[in-house]
Amino acid sequence: MKLKPIFAAVSIATFSSGLLAADMAKEMTIVSWGGAYSNSQLKAYHEPYMAANAGFKIINDESSNEAVAKLRAMAEAKNITWDLVDVEGPDSQRLCDEGLAMEIDFDKDLAAGKDGSTPTKDFGDSLINKCFIPQIVFSTTFGYRTDVPEWNGKKPEDLCAVFDTTTFPGKRSLEKRPKKNLEWALLCDGVEKAKLYEVLSTPEGVDKALAKLDTIKKDVIWWSAGAETPQRLADKEVVIGSTYNGRLFDVIEEKKQPVAMLWDYQIFDFDGWVVPAGLPEDRKARVLDYLKVSTDTQRLADQAKYISYGPARASSQPLVGKHATLGIEMAPHMPSNPENAKRFLVNNIEWWSNNEDEMNKKFEAWLAK
């Protein structure tokens, strides 16, 4: 059985050597999220790849937050200007459903793990659909200020502190969409984790969740961009707020603000690449070549040196080291660190792809009340 991955690796090697560099496009446009995240990709993926391929250029675009809409528009105009797009798991599902993203043959197109495991096994559960090549695991979780005088020295220890405005008075920052908020509200209203989506699938369940959110509604400032919560925490505008764990790492470790993490019931998500469908051969060859190199075990582990998001490959986990400039060990800051992941949820893409439209209507109507 051990032969299989080796055989796969050999066949990959012969396949890629069959492609001459001359057949591949000389530049590619990579779309990502910008800021610290794009920078981590530049350092961990782009720079090594460009160093190995002289004369090749990467053009960066920071449109990931509207990637799906733009890709759809490009496909309709039959003019696809992007080569590789960084999107979150749910968006990749959408792109795959609409035929806007190319299907990937994981075992053929990606490199085997450093420990010899096949890509399918190495990426495991993070392969959520046929088009998505995962890079990182990130989570949406809470951060709180550690210097609130009204809290009398108490510290939030579990998720429900968010809903407890008597012990922990002050403004909260929550995302202006139903996803994640409804789950957290139900968890703190006594619903078991295992029954969460069963309850949410009933109208009464949604009402229950919204009623729980009602108890803190007047204390919530809603956010729509991930950078808002860290900014509000730093400005003392809010005392506790949800955002992506990497943003909190930045405000705590790099900006040295008096903020701490509340990892309880963090919600895991994957972020990764999709290749737009219908690329010409030379560009496709280049993208696949780039993908194979940049998503291997070492490259994924390298990215964690620059940002506190965990690599999606199992084989990369042991290679996660110290932060490139701060010099601190990154493992304790990873969402997947056992200490942080005592209780967690995984973004239920399937349920949300079915119910997001309806939930949104109810949530918006509730917000406007």
Partner 1 sequence: MEQIQTLNGVPLKKQIARALFKQKVRALLLIAPLLIFILITFVVPITDMLMRSVDNSIVSNTLPQTTTSLETWDPKSGNLPDEAAYAALYNDLKLAIEQKNHTKLGSRLNYESSGMSSLFRKVGKDVSKMQPTTGYKEQFIAADKAWGDIKTWTTFKLYSSKYTNGYFLAAIDMKKTPDGAEMLPASERIYLNLFVRTIFMSLVITGLCLLLGYPIAWLLANLPMRTSNLLMILVLLPFWTSLLVRTSAWKVLLQQQGVINDILVWLGIVSNSGRLELINNQFGTLVAMTHILLPFMILPLYSVMRTIPPTYVRAAKSLGATDWTTFWRVYFPQTIAGIGAGAILTFILAIGYYITPELVGGTQGTFISNRIAYHISSSLNWGMAAALGTILLTLVLVLYWVYDKIVGIDKVKLG
72, 261, 305, 346: which one binds partner 1 (CB under 8 A) = 72
98, 115, 147, 192: which one binds partner 1 (CB under 8 A) = 98
> Environment class of residue 262 by beta-carbon count within 10 Å: exposed (0-12), middle (13-18) or buried (19+)?
buried
Letters for 283-322 (x = contact with partner 1 by CB under 8 A, - = none) are: ----------------------------------------
Q: Provide φ and ψ at 141, rounded to 5°.
A: -150, 180
69, 211, 326, 328: which one binds partner 1 (CB under 8 A) = 69
Q: Which among 181-189, 216-224, 325-333, 339-347 is the span making contact with partner 1, rule CB under 8 A? A: 216-224
What is the rounded distance in angstroms from the CA atom of residue 215 to the CA atom of residue 181? 13
Under rule CB under 8 A, how many of the chain's residues touch partner 1?
33
227, 319, 346, 367: which one binds partner 1 (CB under 8 A) = 367
Say whether residue 356 binds partner 1 (CB under 8 A). yes
Minimum CB–partner distance for residue 195 and partner 1 (Å):
19
Closest CA relative to residue 286, chosen from 5, 30, 13, 11: 30
Minimum CB–partner distance for residue 120 and partner 1 (Å):
18
Say whether residue 195 binds partner 1 (CB under 8 A). no
Structural contact between residues 160 and 190, judged by C-beta atoms closer than 8 angstroms: no
Say whether residue 99 binds partner 1 (CB under 8 A). yes
Query: Around Cβ 303, how many Cβ atoms within 10 Å?
Result: 23
Structural contact between residues 61 and 31, judged by C-beta atoms closer than 8 angstroms: yes
157, 204, 235, 339: which one binds partner 1 (CB under 8 A) = 235
Minimum CB–partner distance for residue 141 and partner 1 (Å):
22
CA atoms within 13 A on the CB side of 137: 27
- Chain residues 141-180 in contact with partner 1, contact rule CB under 8 A: 171, 176
CA atoms within 13 A on the CB side of 196: 20
Q: Provide φ and ψ at 9, rounded to 5°.
A: -65, -40
Say whether residue 202 binds partner 1 (CB under 8 A). no
Kind of pairing between the strands at 259-274 and 310-311: unpaired
Q: Which among 18-26, 151-159, 218-226, 303-311 is the span making contact with partner 1, rule CB under 8 A? A: 218-226
Say whether residue 43 binds partner 1 (CB under 8 A). no
> Environment class of residue 119 by beta-carbon count within 10 Å: exposed (0-12), middle (13-18) or buried (19+)?
buried
CA distances from 221 to 170, 272, 302 (A): 11, 30, 36
Q: Which among 65-73, 182-190, 298-306, 309-317 is the span making contact with partner 1, rule CB under 8 A? A: 65-73
End-to-end alpha carbon distance in the chain: 61
Q: Which residues contact 155 (CB under 8 A, 6 or more apart)?
A: 144, 146, 260
Nearer to partner 1, 96 or 188 (CB): 96
Nearer to partner 1, 39 or 348 (CB): 348
What residues make contact with partner 1 under the rule CB under 8 A?
65-66, 68-69, 72, 94, 96-99, 171, 176, 221-222, 224, 235-237, 350, 353-358, 360-362, 364-368
